Amino acid sequence: MSKNSDYSEVRQVLQTPWLKTHIRSRLHALKLSSFLSEEDIVQHSVMCLFETLQSGKQVNHPVAWAKLVSERYISKLYKKHRVSEATELEKIEYFANQNCDKNNSYDIHEEIAKNIQQIKTKNRAILRMRFFQKFSWKKIAEILSHQEGTQICVATARKRGERAVKELRQVFLNKLAS
């Protein structure tokens, strides 16, 4: 490809509304749309396309090519996101279950109890069931299902637990900042 080429393939990808719609639906389905946008993914695909064209390779179907690149990128980001969520939750569970020496244990538990009182009631209940009563996510899902009168799956209970931990973390960070 010559240096004077206008890269019509890039323009074609950028002007295809179908691609953005497809990417948006994938991000929504994987619950990634809260921290990624379709513009981020399209930009990544366009940059890859541009680099491919710069290297002299020819792309016959640029929109299909961009879709494939975006699918792979979304998949990579999804896997990375799931690993980081699991790791964060495992760290919190480790510290919650760790035995502290008796002098510090009371102070730490007292501080946690004070901070837990500042979060939403539903989140407080989930944290107590998980970290203090040592319930499994399955048991928590059963209890929430019974309380709410609707079927709550384990994944939903875990997600609520993650939100509760996030809220508690924010309370701690706000205290540190003040």
The tens digit of pLDDT for each residue in 27-42 reads 888 888 777 788 889 8
d(CA 48, CA 59): 11
Tell me what the pLDDT averaged over the chain comes to.
82
Q: Among 62, 57, 58, which residue's Cα sits nearest to residue 16?
A: 62
Which candidate, 35, 119, 30, places its Cα nearest to that of 79? 30
Query: Which pLDDT value is given to residue 35?
Result: 74
pLDDT at 141 over 90: yes
User: What backbone torsions phi and psi does residue 155 show, to the nearest 5 degrees?
Assistant: -60, -40
pLDDT band of residue 102 (cuts 50, 70, 90) is: very low
Structure token pair of residue 23: 């990417």
The confidence score (pLDDT) of residue 4 equals 39
CB of 70 closer than 8 Å to CB of 45: yes
Residue for token digits 């513009």?
Answer: 39
Q: Whole-angstrom Cα distance, residue 22 to residue 6?
A: 26
Which range scores top for mean pLDDT: 2-16, 86-100, 142-156? 142-156
Which CATH architecture group holds 99-177? Orthogonal Bundle (1.10)
How crowded is residue 4: how many other Cβ atoms within 10 Å of its Cβ?
5
Helices 137-148 + 154-177 axis angle, to 10: 100
Question: Can you give the pLDDT at residue 69?
Answer: 93
Structure tokens at 35: 């921290």
Domain boundaries defined on the chain: 8-85, 99-177
Which of these, 139, 121, 119, lies nearest to 130 by C-alpha position?
139
| CA separation for the pair 100, 43 (Å, rounded) | 48
pLDDT at position 98 is 58
**pTM score, whole prediction:** 0.47
- Enumerate residues 6+ apart whose C-beta is below 8 A from 30: 74, 78
Is pLDDT of 94 > 70?
no
pLDDT tops 90 at residue 96: no
| pLDDT for 5 | 52
Give residue 126's pLDDT band: very low, low, confident or very high (50, 70, 90): very high
